[in-house]
Amino acid sequence: MNMTTIRRELHQIPEPGFKEWKTQQYLLDKIALWKADYMEWKTWHTGIFLFIHGSAPVKNVAYRTDMDGLPIEENTTYSFPSLHPGMMHACGHDLHMSIALGLVHTFSQEQPKENLLFIFQPAEEGPGGAEPMLDAAPFLEWKPDEIYALHVAPERKVGEVASKPGLLFANTSELFIDLKGTGGHAARPHLANDMVVAASHLVTQIQSVVARNVDPLDAAVVTIGKITGGTKQNIIAEASRLEGTIRTLSEESMQKVKTRIRQLTAGIETAFDCEAEIDWGANYCQVYNNHEIAASFREFAQQHGGVTYVESGEAMTGEDFGYFLREVPGLMFWLGVDTPYGLHDSRLEPKEEAMNTAVEFMTDFLKSR
Ligand SMILES: CC(=O)N[C@@H](CCC[C@H](N)C(=O)O)C(=O)O
């Protein structure tokens, strides 16, 4: 089992959420190759539930990885770049899956005492695979008593694991606003209703929501990552669309931000005599680590010779792993992969040796549970 080869092969086939068919087949082939008589698995859409029966189980311990890639044109120096144009594993899910496979391989050779459930989850980047997986028959059949997951951290050194009790990642909501007015000739603006101008005003006004409506001690972010509108430079745009995401540490601020965006959008409708439609897309609840488990994890990591434990702060990233944690006590942690470029950057090149650190550490940790 060569985890680097696995990671590189997965890196070449990034797929969008709920379309991870090649990825699923790749994972299934590896699982079938390493099959032991105490292992069984079931697919769920493009995901997989893999159950490893323990030798003397008193509980079910779960480990989850995400599977999807991002719509980014890769710009790394790799000799094994994405083979899917316009798609890239730019959030480390190729490493996450390889680490999960590394753990599966280990436990396929050495039966654990407790039952282990490996969850290969689609669509973490959206629309979200975790929440519907909670109702999937295999999850209900093999319901875990505790659950774990990691996320690569480009800014941390290899060997570092970082986490904290309680809130780790923010609440998220996607944001899509469609503006519809009246198009026309560029030279006759008085006969049209320019949705590029309306969108520009709305983007600018939205910047005031975090600055002026959210308690400064309760962090929030609103990012508009994409604007589209119009068809040609000399045609006044009839329609435009804003696409973004909202992040808040508290649920209360999420509702406040949404209310203000609704009000501002209604104001744009009046000011520009246009129609607007808001779609909140996928919403993820916060990632909230169980306090007792976080304390045991910290103690275990501090005593483990293979890693350095760092107490993490909260992050405005989102993760639908939060849905698993809402139902099952557990923990998510950051794994250092030491690279200058951040998550969602087309140049992301995580250090692959971090995968061995993770597998050695998590093998010991899962055995200890
Ligand atoms: C770890 C990470 O980067 N997660 C994503 C989750 C995206 C959620 C949703 N699609 C959104 O954009 O709000 C992140 O961007 O934090």
Averaged pLDDT in 10-residue chunks for the chain of 369 residues: 97 98 98 98 98 98 98 98 98 98 98 98 97 98 98 98 98 98 97 97 97 94 98 98 97 97 98 98 97 98 97 97 98 97 98 98 97
53 known member of a binding site: no
Residue 29 burial class via C-beta count within 10 angstroms: exposed 0-12, middle 13-18, buried 19 and up: exposed
C-alpha distances in Å from residue 85, one per residue of 71, 99, 139, 212, 297: 9, 25, 34, 41, 40
Give residue 124 CA to ligand 1 midpoint distance, Å. 7
Quick one: which of 128, 124, 149 has its CA closest to 62? 149
- If one counts the domains in the chain, the total is 2
| CB of 118 shorter than 6 A to ligand 1 | no
| CB of 154 shorter than 6 A to ligand 1 | no
Residues 145 and 269 in one domain: no
Residues 95 and 62 in one domain: yes
Residues 21 and 136 in one domain: yes
Q: What is the DSSP letter of 24?
A: H
247-277 burial, b at 16+ Cβ within 10 Å, e below that, comes to bbbbeebbebbbebbeebbeebbeebebebe
Is-contact 189 236, C-beta < 8 A? yes
Sign of the CA dihedral running 255, 256, 258, 262: positive
Q: Which 3-state string (H, E, C) describes 305-345?
A: CCCEEEECCCECCCCCHHHHHHHCCEEEEEEECCCCCCCCC
Q: What is the DSSP letter of 78?
A: -
Structural domain boundaries enclosing 254: 171-283
Q: What is the pLDDT of residue 298?
A: 98
Which residues participate in catalysis according to the annotation?
Answer: 66, 125
| CB of 245 shorter than 6 A to ligand 1 | yes
Residues 7 and 98 in one domain: yes
Last-in-domain residue among 226, 250, 283: 283
| CB of 70 shorter than 6 A to ligand 1 | no
Tokens coding 92: 């480390």
Residues 109 and 65 in one domain: yes
The C-alpha atoms of residue 72 and residue 30 are separated, in whole angstroms, by 27
The C-alpha atoms of residue 330 and residue 137 are separated, in whole angstroms, by 21
Q: What is the pLDDT of residue 227?
A: 97
Residues 126 and 185 in one domain: no
Is-contact 277 178, C-beta < 8 A? yes
CATH code of residue 189: 3.30.70.360
Residues 108 and 202 in one domain: no
The C-alpha atoms of residue 83 and residue 251 are separated, in whole angstroms, by 40
Report which ligand 1 atom has the smallest distance to the Cα of 172.
13
275 known member of a binding site: no
The C-alpha atoms of residue 272 and residue 184 are separated, in whole angstroms, by 15
The C-alpha atoms of residue 293 and residue 112 are separated, in whole angstroms, by 20
Q: Is 96 helix (H, G, I), strand (E, B) or coil?
A: helix
Q: What is the pLDDT of residue 289?
A: 98
The neighbouring-strand residues paired with 332 are 149
344 known member of a binding site: yes
Q: What is the pLDDT of residue 35?
A: 97
Mean pLDDT of the chain: 97
Q: Which 3-state string (H, E, C) describes 229-298?
A: ECCCCCEECCEEEEEEEEEECCHHHHHHHHHHHHHHHHHHHHHHCCEEEEECCCEECCEEECHHHHHHHH
CATH code of residue 305: 3.40.630.10
Residues 179 and 325 in one domain: no
Q: Is 115 helix (H, G, I), strand (E, B) or coil?
A: strand
Residues 14 and 148 in one domain: yes
Q: pTM of this prediction?
A: 0.94
- Give ipTM to 2 decimals: 0.96
Residues 50 and 108 in one domain: yes
Last-in-domain residue among 263, 283, 303: 283
List pLDDT tens digits, range 26-55.
999 999 999 999 999 999 999 999 999 999
Last-in-domain residue among 239, 257, 283: 283
Q: What is the DSSP letter of 116?
A: E
Residues 31 and 92 in one domain: yes
Residues 58 and 146 in one domain: yes
Give residue 273 CA to ligand 1 midpoint distance, Å. 33
| CB of 66 shorter than 6 A to ligand 1 | no
Give residue 303 CA to ligand 1 midpoint distance, Å. 32
Sequence letter at residue 47:
G
